[in-house]
């Protein structure tokens, strides 16, 4: 089946706009900037995809707890911005080829780097675990930590400040995010352990086989020519503080 036989792509072209759902709170994939524009590796890829389709682009803000519901309500055509493939999402939507393979690892203050090296070490009375709402991080925390104190912080953008300020002890999040936030916050450390899980990041869209074939072929080209890796490297570097 060719891209021309995709009802979804035909509708997007007829509308003249690709509507991209994104949370804007997950650098280096998607970040809402102070000027109201979005930046990040997946934002660059979204612009590239719109150009490939010959249409304009509209970014539709969402939050993790509502991402799937917003998609099913037709608020956007594709979700991009570090979206994790989960069974609940995959049951109702299609996913592209993985753009990034990762796993959950602990992020904590530096003084705890040698303490929180396993799920068992974290799941202890008195340990304050923090997670962001509606995310795979929340699901992981609720599933694995029954003895530790689990707090669901109100948004992903400021959750790391809770660790920095000492109001929480540890967060288990995607390895790339742990590494990135440790680079942004010198008080924090991404614990050097094998990932607790395996997860895939991908783009989420309609259950349209022709659209999946088109998206996957587009991604494969950009994996091969280095476009995706350059976008990720650029986004990682952009968030880091300038060196004197």
- Could you read off the pLDDT of 120-162 as tens digits, one per residue? 999 999 999 999 987 789 999 999 999 999 999 987 779 999 9
| Nearest of 180, 141, 144, 202 to residue 25 by alpha carbon | 180
**How would residue 241 be classed by pLDDT, with cut points 50, 70 and 90?**
low
Cis peptide before 240 (omega within 30 of 0): no
Rounded mean pLDDT of the chain?
A: 94
Task: Please check whether residue 137 is in contact with residue 160, taking contact to mean a CB–CB distance below 8 angstroms.
Answer: no
| Backbone φ and ψ of 46, nearest 5° | -65, -45
- Compute the residue count for the chain: 244
- The pLDDT tens digits for 102-118 are 999 999 999 999 999 99
pLDDT of residue 46: 98
pLDDT of residue 1: 37
pLDDT of residue 160: 95
CATH code for residues 3-100+199-239: 3.40.190.10
pLDDT of 215 > 50? The answer is yes
Task: Please check whether residue 149 is in contact with residue 164, taking contact to mean a CB–CB distance below 8 angstroms.
Answer: no
pTM for the model stands at: 0.86
pLDDT of 244 > 60? The answer is no
What residue ranges of the chain are covered by domains with CATH 3.40.190.10?
A: 3-100+199-239, 104-190
Measured distance CA(22)–CA(169) in Å, rounded = 28
Give mean pLDDT, residues 172-191.
95
Give mean pLDDT, residues 85-101.
96
Give mean pLDDT, residues 26-38.
95
Q: What is the 3-state secondary structure (H, E, C) of the chain?
A: CCHHHCHHHHHHHHHCEEEEEECCEECCCEEECCCCCEECHHHHHHHHHHHHHCCEEEEEECCHHHHHHHHHCCCCCEECCCCECCHHHHHHCEECCCCEEECEEEEEEHHHCCCCCCHHHHCCCCCEEEECCCCHHHHHHHHHCCCCEEEECCCCCCHHHHHHCCCCCEEEEEHHHHHHHHHHCCCEEECCCCCCCCEEECCEECCCHHHHHHHHHHHHHHHHCCHHHHHHHHHHHHHCCCCC
CATH of 104-190, one of 3.40.50.300, 3.40.190.10, 3.40.47.10, 3.40.50.620: 3.40.190.10
Which of 66-75, 203-212, 232-241 shows the lowest mean pLDDT across its residues?
A: 232-241
Task: Please check whether residue 22 is in contact with residue 62, taking contact to mean a CB–CB distance below 8 angstroms.
Answer: yes
Task: Please check whether residue 75 is in contact with residue 19, taking contact to mean a CB–CB distance below 8 angstroms.
Answer: yes
pLDDT of 236 > 80? The answer is yes
Measured distance CA(104)–CA(122) in Å, rounded = 13
Q: Which is more confident, 63 or 156?
A: 63
pLDDT of residue 4: 55
Q: Is 36 exposed, middle or buried (0-12, 13-18, 19+ CB in 10 A)?
A: exposed
pLDDT of 2 > 60? The answer is no
Measured distance CA(107)–CA(3) in Å, rounded = 42
Percentage of the chain modeled with pLDDT above 70: 97
């Amino acid at each position: 089946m060719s891209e021309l036989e995709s009802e979804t792509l035909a509708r997007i072209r007829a509308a003249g706009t690709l509507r991209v759902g994104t949370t804007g709170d997950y650098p280096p994939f998607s970040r809402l900037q102070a000027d109201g524009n979005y930046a990040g590796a997946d934002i660059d890829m979204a612009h590239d995809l719109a150009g490939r389709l010959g249409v304009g682009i509209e970014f539709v803000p969402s939050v993790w707890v509502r991402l799937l519901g917003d998609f099913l309500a037709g608020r956007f055509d594709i979700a991009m911005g570090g979206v994790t493939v989960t069974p609940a999402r995959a049951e109702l939507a299609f996913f592209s080829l993985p753009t990034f393979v990762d796993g959950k690892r602990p992020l904590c203050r530096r003084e705890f780097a040698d303490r929180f090296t396993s799920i068992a070490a974290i799941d202890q009375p008195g340990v304050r675990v923090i997670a962001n709402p509606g995310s795979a991080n929340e699901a992981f925390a609720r599933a694995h930590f029954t003895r530790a104190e689990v707090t669901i912080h109100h948004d992903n953008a400021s959750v790391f400040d809770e660790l920095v300020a000492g109001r929480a002890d540890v967060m288990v999040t995607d390895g790339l995010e742990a590494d990135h936030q440790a680079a942004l916050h010198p008080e924090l450390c991404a614990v050097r352990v094998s990932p607790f899980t395996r997860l895939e990041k991908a783009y989420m869209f309609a259950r349209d086989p022709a659209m999946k074939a088109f998206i996957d072929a587009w991604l494969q080209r950009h994996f091969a020519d280095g476009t995706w890796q350059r976008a990720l490297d650029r986004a990682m570097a952009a968030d880091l503080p300038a060196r004197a």
